Structure 1
Amino acid sequence: MASANTYPRVLFSLDSYYVSEELGFVLPKPLDKLPPYYQPWMDVAMHVPELVQSQELRSHVNKMALLSTEFLQKHRELRLAHLALSMMTMGYVWQEGENNTVNTLPSSLAVPYWEVSQRLGLPPILTHADAVLANWKKKDPNGPFTMENLDLLVSLPGGESVRGFFLVTLLVELAAVPALRNIPVVINGVRCCDTEAVARGLEIISQSIQDMTDTLKLMHVYVEPSVFYGIMRIYLSGWKDNPGMPNGLVYEGVQTEPMEYSGGSAAQSSLLHCFDELLGVNHEEKSRSFLTRMRNYMPPAHKKLIQDISSQPSLRSFVQQQASERLNQAFRLCVSKLLALRSYHINVVSRFITVPAAQARRLREQSQSAEGGVVSRAPTALEATGTGGSGIMTFLKTVRDHTKDTLLPETSKEVNHHS
């Protein structure tokens, strides 16, 4: 990286990256209606859980007319259209579980989905940007961002646990807003050699990451592990690196060859990518290639922000060069909080995936699937992987360990208790 004083004096800011001052990466005021022409989409999308339950979703989609996308003009219209078409697609593909998947998405869904995706720079599959960032409304528009005052626009099978999963994730995104706002403070402080500004910015980022961890704890309150594992997970799964759909999916009317896309993943949230680039976390090759691929599932402006943070002068080197105890402490605290967040995420994944997977395997071996309830009906193909297609525990632990490596040498022994 270049030294701090070779950088232009233009201040780094979030203005050109579609990052909201109040909401960060979250889409402000998502629409809940499309122009009337698109009502046929909304009629199906709003009832995905019931139509999957009655196994009628595929027949409804097969009867849909092929609509032009030319009447979708505004960014928020495109985002709602992408969300609705995504939810329909996940329901269509996985309506009958992993044993009776389809190999073709009909053109009435595939063609408009592809066109809307191209205009947004998003892939034609359900992403974090759809299900979380653009899938919320307040019951009382003037009320607070709380679980009691929030609801989803469009849902998937899994009842209250689906609502809990997406909305708690939304609240984690919102907890990160002060951290996002202070990334430019830190970058500009490094450029101007202002150690006090950098330390102050890092202290705010640390507190914000702590707030993210505290908010993530709500998963245990609002999401039932057996429902997440046994019902919801398959609808978040993609058709890349998935034994349940080894050949991908043909988007009829788009191209004749099947295409492969990864399912939803926490790695599609831009937040941790931004923190990693700011703090100088170096992931090993396999983890890095997965994380880099997940950036193609983000809105292009958010992906660009991550890339631009990575090209700034090195914060870690700056901290090492300054003889500032406050700065050293602030950097150490920030990395430690990120480490603690990743460790806590491993606990959540263990409770929602690893434990139910072991239970499902045990029930299968004992041929007790009838009594096993929801868990035993879960797809076997996903037992060891995340919905994004990664070997989940190995991946998360490797990412955590490389976060620990970012600590400056003399301090690494002090945070071993986080692991």
Structure 2
Amino acid sequence: MSVYVSLSVCLEIFFPTADLLGPLHVLVMSSLHSQLSEVLPRSLALPLVEVSRNLGLPPILVHADLVLTNWTKRDPAGPLEIRNLETIISFPGGESLRGFVLVTALVEKAAVPGIKALVQATHAILQPSQDALLQALQQLRLSIQAITGTLGQMHDYVDPDIFYAVIRIFLSGWKDNPAMPAGLTYEGVSQEPLQYSGGSAAQSTALHAFDEFLGVRHGSESADFLHSMRDYMPPSHKAFVEEIRSAPPLREHVLSSAHGHLRTAYNQCLQALADLRSYHLNMVTKYLITAAAKAKSGKLNALPGPPQALEDRGTGGTAVLRFLKSVRDKTLEAILHPRG
């Protein structure tokens, strides 16, 4: 059980120091964005791969680089609020990039009580204590709802045109990416091109842990993609998700319980998670689908559009709306209906 406690503290949240992947990757993506080459020079490839190996991460910009380790307080004694935060590493995108990184960091902060609730709930199932489990599920629901509320700050800080035409290009990887079908050659590392997915919210630990804890089972295509994203997490985060997966199953406990309030609390967590995913769908429609339509019509505020092949894809390489609808619908399917 010590694993649960130590990793929940680790997720509280963000790592204390920024790693070296961010600045190295900015240089990589800048050269690719300029379409200079699909070969990463040895002088960048070797240190990038070495640092990545030491961190247990793939040699590409990931969620942990861009978000978890990429913030600092302006006033060290001040609050963890966006007005008191600044990014450490930046690339084109200006204030919209800052807003995207920092709002996403605050989303992770909002998930911390939910991560703690998973640990508390697991202890409650083992004790067993229905009251403690109910309390933990209520805390999980509130945390998921707080994530949704925090995510809404994107509308205040991130311009859809800039996200679509500028920021998203720097987050796109070279796996399942029609704009770079062969991948990227890391000179001095491999003679063949390597393929890695771009930075994505699917690399965030919290939703993986929530799904495992609540017993949400995704369709095969979505599940395969989500499972692959765990290789883009810091090793301790991936281990935490696997520990939650191997913990006593909450869903079976709820199904076997005669405690009606427990079933209600469980369903409320699932509904909150589905609502979060519906909200994310609406946001992606604004920041991707609507922006893509503006780009095609030439109304993207004089900004160049991304490669046509990327228009309907998420930064991780997914056909994003189909994927998000699938994970939302499978979350709703997990809701337990009344007996009889």
Both proteins in one fold, TM over 0.5 = yes
CA drift of 1:86 comes to 1.9
Query: Are 1:13 and 2:37 counterparts?
Result: no
Return structure 1 stretches of 4+ with deviation > 6 angstroms. Answer: none
Partners of 1:338 and 1:410 lie apart in 2 by 20
- Name stretches of at least 5 consecutive residues in structure 1 with no aligned partner: 1-9, 31-78, 364-368, 412-419
CA distances 1:390-419 after superposition (whole Å, capped 9, x unpaired): 0000000000000001110239xxxxxxxx
**Do 1:230 and 1:374's aligned partners in 2 also have CA atoms closer than 8 Å?**
no
For residue 9 of structure 2, give the secondary structure of its aligned residue in structure 1.
coil
Query: Are 1:27 and 2:18 counterparts?
Result: no
TM-score (norm 2): 0.96
Query: Are 1:80 and 2:15 counterparts?
Result: no
1:146 to 65, 68, 81: 81
For residue 19 of structure 2, give the secondary structure of its aligned residue in structure 1.
helix
Query: Residues 14-413 of structure 1 correspond to what in structure 2 (within 5 A)?
Result: 14-15=5-6, 17=7, 19-20=8-9, 24-28=12-16, 30=17, 79-94=18-33, 96=34, 100=35, 102-361=37-296, 363=297, 369=298, 372-374=300-302, 376-410=304-338
**Do 1:189 and 1:195's aligned partners in 2 also have CA atoms closer than 8 Å?**
yes
For residue 410 of structure 1, give the secondary structure of its aligned residue in structure 2.
coil
**Do 1:229 and 1:375's aligned partners in 2 also have CA atoms closer than 8 Å?**
no
Partners of 1:173 and 1:126 lie apart in 2 by 18
CA drift of 1:379 comes to 2.3
**Do 1:11 and 1:188's aligned partners in 2 also have CA atoms closer than 8 Å?**
no
CA drift of 1:300 comes to 0.8
Aligned-partner residue type, residue 291 of structure 1: L
Aligned-partner residue type, residue 93 of structure 1: L
Instruction: After superposing the two structures, state which structure 1 stretch, 309-318 or 385-394, moved more.
Output: 309-318
CA distances 1:341-375 after superposition (whole Å, capped 9, x unpaired): 111010110110010112222x2xxxxx4x64345
Aligned-partner residue type, residue 274 of structure 2: L
**Do 2:67 and 2:104's aligned partners in 1 also have CA atoms closer than 8 Å?**
yes
For residue 307 of structure 1, give the secondary structure of its aligned residue in structure 2.
helix
CA drift of 1:200 comes to 0.6
Aligned-partner residue type, residue 196 of structure 1: D
**Do 2:4 and 2:240's aligned partners in 1 also have CA atoms closer than 8 Å?**
no
Kindly name which structure, 1 or 2, has the bigger radius of gyration based on alpha carbons.
1
CA distances 1:263-321 after superposition (whole Å, capped 9, x unpaired): 11110001100000000000010000000001110001100111111111210111111
For residue 137 of structure 1, give the secondary structure of its aligned residue in structure 2.
strand
Partners of 1:212 and 1:387 lie apart in 2 by 21
Q: Alignment identity in percent?
A: 45
For residue 14 of structure 1, give the secondary structure of its aligned residue in structure 2.
helix
**Do 1:356 and 1:375's aligned partners in 2 also have CA atoms closer than 8 Å?**
no
